[in-house]
Structure 1
Amino acid sequence: MVNRLSPREAMYYFMDPTGATSHLGALLVVDEASSEKADQTSPVDYPSLVSLVENRLQVAPRYRQVVCPVTMGLARPVWADDPDFDINFHIRRSGLPRPGSMSDLADLIARVMSRPLDRSRPLWEMYLIEGLADGGHALLTKTHRCLVDTHGPEMSEVITDESPQVRRLDPDVWMPGHPPGAAALAIGAVAEAVSRPGELLESVVAGNGVIGGVRSLVGFTVDRVGDLLAQVTDSTPSSPLDAPGTSSQMFTVASIPRRDCAKIAERHGCTVNDVVLAIIGGVLRRWLLSYDVAAPITGTVRVEIPLTTRDPGVITSAECGDRWVDVGAPGFVTDLPIGEDNPTVRLAQVAGLADRYSQSSRRVTQGPRPILSELGVVPFPELGSWAFRSWGKRGYNVPIAIGAAPVADRYVLGRKVSGIYSIPGLVAGHSLSIGVVEYAGALRFAFTADRGVIADLPALADYVTESFEELVGAD
C-alpha cells in the first residue's frame, strides 16, 4: 500500500512558486561555556552530529523519504523511501570568519535560506556552523513545510534533549524500500479510485458515500468561496511590504527580557503577547518612517498570528505546546495601529483589537487548507498554488509566528542551547515574516525578509530594542 501525502501536505508541496521551495527552519546557538555538566565524550562536531541525527531519524521517518508526484495529477503524491539516501548530503559543515559575529551568522543564514531545496531528495538540510566569537556553535535547520505539520517535528526539535544526558535510542537498521515507478503510481491511483464499488452502491442508496459526498460538495464549495470572499472584501491595508520581491532573502534576530515584558503587561492590564505585538507595531512604524521620510504614517498593518496567543485552549496536545516550529495552526488576522505614535496608546489599541478579532468568525482562520481535498485528485497544481498565494496576499501584510508556550531548556549532545530562534518561511506575495520564541528568559525575534524590498533588515533588530525601551519608559 502506498503512503500518500495528506491533502494538507500535498497543498504545501504544490504551493511552491516556480523555481523556489517553501521552507522554514530554526537556529540553535550552542554555548560551549555553559555546559558544566555536559557529557564531554560527545563534542559538538560534525561526526557526533551525524551520529546523533542517524540515531534520531527513526522517530521522524519522513526525513528519509522523497515525494513522488503522480502522472497527470491522478492522485496526490506519495511518500517513498529514498534508495540513495545520503545523510552527509543533508548535514553540512560551514564556518564563519573568526571572530564570527551575529551579523556574519545572519548573512550566512540568509544565503542558505535563499536557496531552494533539492526536490529529488528528502526535503531538509542541516548546517553545523563554526567560528562564533565565543567559541560556540550554531545549528541551522531548513525544512520544507510539507514535512512540518501540527503533528510533525522539525529537525531541530528531533535532535534536542531536555537534559544534559544525551538520549540514545536503540539502534535502528533501516533498509529503503523499492521506490514505485511512474507507471505503477498512475495505475495504482486509478485502481484506488475504482476499488470500492460497495461504497459507490451505498452512496447511491443512502447518499453517504462518494456520490453523496459529491452532492454535498456543491454546498461545501459555496461556503468556502463565501468565506474567502468575506476575507477579500475586508481589504488588507496597502503597504510597501506587499511589493513584488526577489528570490534573495535577508535574516536578522533580536531578543528582549521576558520579565520586563511581563511587568509592562501587568502595568497596562494586558498580556505579554500584546506587548510583543505592540513592539512589532513600533518596529514596523519605524521602518516605514525610514522607508519614506516624506510620507505620513497613518492607518494599520494587518498581521496573521496564532490563535493560541489569545486562547491557549486551542492547543490539541501537550506535545504541540512546547514546540518552536509550527505550520498550519489555527490563527486570526488583526491590525497593528502603526499610525499611533504614543506607545502606551498603541499598546492599548493592539490589545483591544486582538481581543475583538480573535472572537470574529471573519478574522479567525484554520490555517491554509486544501480546496476540494475530498476529490483526492490534483489535476492543476500550478493553479492551486497560484490561488493560495493570491488569497494569502490579500488576507494580511505580515505573518507572525508566536510560540504557544515557553520552551524549556534544551541540550544538543550534552551542551546547553543558549538561544533558539524560529526562522519563519517567507510566504509568497509577502516581503516579511516574523517568528517569536520564548526561551531562556527572553523573547527571541527572528525576521526573514525579501532583500529587494527590505534591504535594511538589520535595522529592525535595533527597532525591537527601541520599541521595547519606549514601553519600559512609558508612564
Structure 2
Amino acid sequence: MEGGVELLLELRVTGFHARYGTGPKPRCRWGYPPSSSPRAPPDSLDPLARSAHAHQAVAHPPGTRRRRGAVTRTEIADRVFLALETASTPQHVAFLATFALPGDADPRHHVHRLLTRLRAAPVAAPFTFRLRHPGRRAFAAAWDVLDEQDVDRSHHVRRSALPTPGGASELHDLVSQLHSRPLDLTRPLWECHLIEGLAHDRYALYFKVHHALIDGLGAVQRLRYMLSADPLDDGVRALWSVAATDGAEPGGAEPGGAEPGGGGATPLARMLAGIGATMATGAAAGRAARKMAEGALAPDDPARAVPFAIPRSRVNGAVGQQRRVATRHYDFQRFRTAAHAAGVTVNDVLLSVCGGALRRCLAEAGTLPERSLTAGTPVSTRAAGDTETANAFAMTVMSLGTDVADPLERLRLVSRSSGIAKKELGELPPDAAGLYGALFTWPFVAQNVLGLGGRTRPPYNIVVSNVPGSPKQQYFAGSALESIHPLGSVCHGVRLFVAACSSSGRLNLGFVGDRDALPFLDDLAEYASDELGLLERALDLGRAELAPAEKDQVDS
C-alpha cells in the first residue's frame, strides 16, 4: 500500500518536471542501447544463424551508442502496469498468430529450424531490460539494460507441441495456461512460444511481453518488421531485434544535451512558456471533469457513458490466477460492409457485436443488468513513427448497448455513444488528452494498488481494444499468416478484455477472461459470430445465415 501511495504522489512530481523542464535532463526512452559482443564474420557462421547476423545492423545500427550495464528509469505511465502486477493480475499483453506451412515443408523440421534461427536472432532494447529491484517495482522501478549475450534465449524462446492433430480447443487450452503465468520479474519481461502440432500442416506463435515495455500499437509496429508481403522471403526477423532509439542521427547530440527544438532556452523561460500551456490544459481537463460529473448526476443522453456510473455485473469483481482464452476471426469486409450500410464505423460494429454477445451470455445466466454495460476503449496518442514510447494511449468510455435487444437499434446507440466520447476527447488540447483518461484511470489504479480493486466499482465494465494491422497478405519465413489475435490483461474490477486486430484481410478477435468467474467465455466468442450475422440480416445484406466454413473459423 505504501508503494502505491508513493506512486500516486510521484505523478505530480514527474508531471511538474516534465512540464517546466526543471528535473533531470531528458534522455532516450530506452537509455543506452545494449552493447554487442564481437561476432565471427558471416562466412564462418552456421547457415541457420546467418540470417540473424545479417539483421544485427537493424538491432544495433552503425554509430549507435552502446554501454553495458546501463540503467534507465521507468516512465510513470509504464510504471502503472508494474504497480498492478501481482500473481493474480499479471500485466502482460500478447498475441497468438497461426501460420500455414509452405507447401513442401516438413512440419517438425520447419518448426525446429525456426526455433534455431529465432534463438540466434539479436536482442535489442527494450527486450534486454530487466527490473533492477522487482520487489520495489511499484515506487522505485528502474531497468538494468543487459548485454544481449546475457539474455537467456533458451528461456525466452520456447517450443511447445499439441497432441496431433491439434484443434482450436487444444490450442486455446495451451494458450490459456501460458497466458495465466506471470512473467519472471528477475529476467527481461517477454517470452515467445512456437507451437507445433496444429491440424492441416499449421503452427502457431504465442508472444507475450509486459505492458510496461510495449502497448498494443507498439507491438503491431514491431510485428510489421517480423512479417513480409513476399511469400518467397525466407528471412527470420524476430520482433525483439527491433531497436528503439532516440531518433538522433549517428553522431548527434548525446543524451542529456539540449532538448530538440528547445534552442538555448533557460529553465525559467521553459517554465514561463509551460505555465500558459499548463493553464490551458488544466482548464480543458477541468471542463471535461465537470462534464463527467454532470453526466453522472443527470445524464442528458442515455447513450452517454459515464466513468464509474456502471451497473454491477459478473464481469466485474476480483480475479483469480487462471485465465481463459478464446479466439475468432472473420472476413474484414463483413465488418466494413455492415459499417458502410449503417453509416457508422467498423469500431462501432465491433462494440455492438460484443454488446449483443455479452447481453445473450448474461441473460442466459440470469444476470443481465437493466442498464447497459460500458466498455473502456483505448485511443492511441502515439505520434506517427514513434517506436520509442512504451505506452501512448488515452482511455474513453462507451456504451455497449446491452440493454437493447434489436441489433440495429443497439448499433445506433453504440455509434451515438462513441460519437459523444470522441467529441469530448477531440475538444481537448493534445496535452490534455492523457489527462482526460487519467481522470478515471488513476482512481482505478488507486483502487488496485490500495487493495480495493474488485470491491469498488471500476470506471467501465470491460475493455474493448481495436488495433489496425496490414490489409495485405503477410508471411513469416515463407509461411502464410492466417490470423493474429491480440490478447490483453485483466485486473481486479475488470474481468474481461476483448481485443481486435485486422490483418491479411481478416478481423481477428481475442477474448481473455477470468477462468472461474467467466466460464461462458467460449460461448461469448461463438455468440459474437451469431450477433454479426443477425446485424447483417437486420441491414438486409443478403446473409440469412453464416456459411458453415465461416462459422467454423476458430483458427483450427
Give the TM-score, by structure 1 length: 0.75
Instruction: Please report how far the alpha carbon of residue 99 of structure 1 lies from its aligned counterpart in structure 2 after TM superposition.
Output: 1.5
Amino acid paired to 2:499:
G
Whichever residue aligns with residue 455 of structure 1, its letter is P
Cα offset, 1:55, TM superposition = 2.3
Higher relative contact order (CA 8 A, sep 6+): 1
Is the 8 Å Cα contact of residues 67 and 78 (structure 1) preserved in structure 2? yes
Q: Which of 344, 352, 355 is the aligned partner of 1:278?
A: 352
Residue 126 of structure 2: aligned partner: 62
Q: Deviation per CA, 1:403-453, whole angstroms, max 9, x where unpaired?
A: 135443322222111111111122332110001111222221110000121
Unmatched segments (≥5 aa) in structure 1: 174-191, 193-201, 309-313, 321-325, 372-380
1:338-389 deviations in whole A, cap 9, x for unaligned? 1111111111111111112211249996399889xxxxxxxxx999834896
Please list the CA deviations of residues 183-218 of structure 1 after superposition, one character each: whole Å capped at 9, or x if unmatched.
xxxxxxxxx9xxxxxxxxx87xx4966x9999x999
The residue that corresponds to 2:510 in the other structure is: 446
**CA, structure 1 residues 367+48, in 2 after alignment: closer, same or farther (shift >3 Å)?**
farther
Aligned residue number for residue 143 of structure 2: 78
> Equivalent of 2:322, from 248, 255, 264?
248
Identity %: 22
Helix, strand or coil at the partner of 1:25: strand
The aligned residue for residue 363 of structure 2 is 289
The answer on 1:8 being equivalent to 2:77 is yes
Q: 1:249 to 1:143 in 2, by over 3 A?
A: same
CA gap 1:341/1:169 in 2 versus in 1, 3 angstroms: closer
Name the counterpart of 1:473.
Answer: 537
2:288–2:436 CA contact under 8 A, matched in 1 = no
Displacement after TM superposition at 1:251 (Å): 0.5
Q: 1:160 to 1:388 in 2, by over 3 A?
A: farther
CA offset at residue 270 of structure 1? 1.6
Gap change, CA 1:132 and 1:319, over 3 Å in 2:
farther
What residue identity is the alignment partner of 1:457? L
Deviations 1:260-281 (A, max 9, x none): 2222222222222221111111
- Structure 2: distance between partners of 1:274 and 1:220: 29
Distance between the aligned counterparts of 2:286 and 2:453, measured in 1? Answer: 15
- The answer to whether 1:385 aligns with 2:444 is no
In structure 2, what is the equivalent of residue 141 of structure 1?
207
> What corresponds to 2:37 in structure 1?
none
Which amino acid is 1:458 matched to?
A: D
User: Is contact 2:425-2:436 (8 Å) kept?
Assistant: no
SS at structure 2 position matched to 1:395: coil
2:230 to 163, 168, 190: 163
- 3-state SS, counterpart of residue 497 of structure 2: strand
Contact persistence 2:74–2:142 (CA under 8 A): yes
Letter in 2 for 1:7: I
Which of 192, 206, 218 is the equivalent residue of 1:126? 192
Distance 2:360 2:452 in 1: 30
Unmatched 5+ residue regions in structure 2?
1-69, 242-255, 257-265, 297-305, 440-444, 541-556
Amino acid at match of 1:81: L
Indicate which of 156, 166, 175 corresponds to 1:109. 175
Q: CA separation in 2, counterparts of 1:392 and 1:131?
A: 44
Residue 21 of structure 1 aligns with which residue? Answer: 90
SS in 2 for 1:239: coil
Counterpart of 2:372 (choices 277, 280, 300) is 300
Of residues 396, 405, 408 in structure 1, which corresponds to 2:472?
A: 408
Query: TM-score if structure 2 supplies the norm length?
Result: 0.65
Report the RMSD for the aligned CA atoms in angstroms.
4.2
SS of residue in 1 equivalent to 2:337:
helix
User: Which residue matches 1:337?
Assistant: 401
Residues 347 and 167 (structure 1), Cα distance of their counterparts in 2 relative to 1, 3 Å cut = same
